[in-house]
Amino acid sequence: MTERSPLDIASLWRIALGEIELSVSKANFTTWFKNVTLQGRHQDSVVIVTPNIFTREWLENKYHSVILEALQRIDPSIQNVRYVISTQPIMKIQPVPHSPVVIRKHQDSLVVSGASSPEAPEEKRSVWWDEDSNLNARYTFEEFVVGANNELVYAAAQAVARRPGESYNPLFIYGGVGLGKTHILQAIGNAVLAEKQLRVKYVTSEKFTTELITAIQTRDTHTFKKRYRLVDLLIIDDVQFIIGKEKTQDEFFHTFNELHSGGKQVVISSDRPPKAIPTLEERLRSRFEGGMIADITPPDLETRIAILQVKCARRRVRVPDDVLAYLAAQVPSNIRELEGCLNRVLAHCELHKEVPTLSRTQEILQPLLTQPKRRIIHTNRIIEAVSTYYNISTDELLGESRRREVVRPRQVAMYLLRSENQFSFPTIGKYFGGRDHTTAMHSCGKIEENLETDEMLRQDLVTIRQKLYVLVGV
Ligand code: ADP
Ligand code: MG
């Protein structure tokens, strides 16, 4: 410390943190500044120690001016901030990508290589998967980027992880495909498992169903019940798949009740809110609604770039900012797809031993990004997506029924044929059992009109469209 400043380094940081807290959102503050300390001072420079590479990158790229200004307000002689990574690992488990790629700086150029190089020993470990809890250690809170689209979910998830069974029970998280539901669910599980030594079980509702069927067939429901009822935290992913499966719903209801009444935590995800699951039993719906319901929406551009940065940092690859910005701009509404594009670029670059530049990235992704949007989606795919979503048969959808549960989905299907494929009204009419073109026109108009006020309908269409546009094998 200089003579002019009476503050020791710890106090300096404590006061600076107070300033920083005022200039960033609460969620970002907790995410990025939690395990960060100020540890050294040399003349006009200070050293900030971060727990891992992505926090370092994030602070350096996003919060440098906030940090510097906060420090300068306390001690104007500070001119530089250096960011380093703590040598003590904060994360107990270092997850590893399936096909790691390392891009290192060598003199002035970047060198791309596989992860087996001796300089990246930790990359060699295999992905940690806990069989008992069924959790994948890759999904942690640390690697979950918080943006306006998921702030509420993140806060609720953290509260639940801190005090399972006490804050929000159940916690029901919903949102479209590839938006991070599984990630946040598993992050809760991993945090609880690591910090509280409680019994955690993660299961998809499909697996729950299959196991139940097997248990019934082998007359061993006792083991099944034990597996799911004797836990402290039960996480059920994609609960929409138990729609219409009476036995599974029944079993789930009893499992839920037993856990809930015993003060155990239940966390659920779905692609839509409980209200929009048409055949969900009323008793289950009201249980779900008795807790906390929070949604994840598609992230904005800034958050998408941040997610890419975290993914790159985890793989210890450096990708130029313009490439990340390009990727983030191209894939707006599905993070899995976004990651898929990043992986594809990295894989290409590794194969051809080249650096991912913007123009190479554009070339590599061009066939993927232009095709699906331009391509006409097969009509059957739209019909199937709509009937699956609303849980009615395609025959009903295309048929004559005037029941309300069928009329609305039919209108939605007609609307999608028009909006996605630009079909003419007579063509749409013909497709739906030779109906008149005015019927098609009326249906599309009705949906357009309702979309302006009906939030649920809007949500329905977001989810259906996402399903239509999921890029397979990217
Ligand atoms: P969902 O279950 O909603 O379909 P996932 O949880 O499987 O989506 O997420 C898809 C991919 O996107 C995962 O690899 C996940 O790590 C990543 N992802 C989604 N949201 C975030 C986020 N906010 N921060 C970091 N990664 C994210
Ligand atoms: Mg999922």
In this predicted structure, the answer to whether residue 36 has a pLDDT above a threshold of 50 is yes
The Cα 246–Cα 230 span in angstroms is 23
Proximal ligand: closest to the CA of 149: 1
Average pLDDT over residues 32-56: 82
- 306: Cβ below 6 Å to ligand 1? no
Sign of the four-CA dihedral 275, 277, 283, 288: negative
Neighbours of 472 (CB within 10 A): 6
- 89: preceding bond cis by omega (within 30 degrees): no
What atom in ligand 1 is closest to the CA of residue 186?
6
> Are the beta carbons of 52 and 90 closer than 8 angstroms?
yes
> Are the beta carbons of 145 and 196 closer than 8 angstroms?
no
Q: Which of 31, 149, 183 to mutate to test the pocket of ligand 1 (most atoms within 8 A of CB)?
A: 183
Residue 96 binned pLDDT confidence (cut-offs 50, 70, 90): very low
Share of residues in the chain with pLDDT > 90 (%): 44
pLDDT for the residue 2: 39
Average pLDDT over residues 188-193: 95
Instruction: Tell me, in angstroms, the distance from the centre of ligand 1 to residue 440's CA.
Output: 37
Kindly give the interhelix angle for 358-374 and 321-330, rounded to the nearest 10 degrees.
Answer: 0
Which stretch of 109-113, 184-188, 422-426 has the lowest confidence by average pLDDT? Answer: 109-113
In this predicted structure, the answer to whether residue 29 has a pLDDT above a threshold of 50 is yes
In this predicted structure, the answer to whether residue 474 has a pLDDT above a threshold of 80 is no
Q: Which amino acid is at 258?
A: E
pLDDT for the residue 376: 63
The Cα 32–Cα 14 span in angstroms is 15
Which stretch of 204-208, 451-455, 465-469 has the lowest confidence by average pLDDT? Answer: 465-469
In this predicted structure, the answer to whether residue 102 has a pLDDT above a threshold of 90 is no
Burial string for 88-114 (b: 16+ CB within 10 Å, else e) reads eeeeeeebbbeebbbbeeeeeebebbe
Neighbours of 6 (CB within 10 A): 9
Residues 6+ apart with CB under 8 A from 261: none
Average pLDDT over residues 377-400: 90
Instruction: Tell me, in angstroms, the distance from the centre of ligand 2 to residue 204's CA.
Output: 9
- 307: Cβ below 6 Å to ligand 1? yes
Q: How much is the mean pLDDT over the chain?
A: 83
The Cα 184–Cα 157 span in angstroms is 7
In this predicted structure, the answer to whether residue 390 has a pLDDT above a threshold of 60 is yes
- 312: Cβ below 6 Å to ligand 1? no
pLDDT for the residue 101: 34
- 336: Cβ below 6 Å to ligand 1? yes
In this predicted structure, the answer to whether residue 220 has a pLDDT above a threshold of 60 is yes
The DSSP call for residue 274 is G
Instruction: Tell me, in angstroms, the distance from the centre of ligand 2 to residue 240's CA.
Output: 11
Average pLDDT over residues 39-63: 82
The structure tokens 């959808």 sit at: 397
The Cα 463–Cα 471 span in angstroms is 14
Q: Which of 139, 141, 335, 469 to mutate to test the pocket of ligand 1 (most atoms within 8 A of CB)?
A: 335
Beta strands 171-175 and 265-270, pairing class: parallel
Alpha carbon of 281 to those of 240, 274, 380, 386: distances in Å?
A: 12, 10, 29, 21
In this predicted structure, the answer to whether residue 110 has a pLDDT above a threshold of 80 is no
pLDDT for the residue 116: 32
Query: Between 440 and 22, where is the model more confident?
Result: 440
The Cα 13–Cα 36 span in angstroms is 10
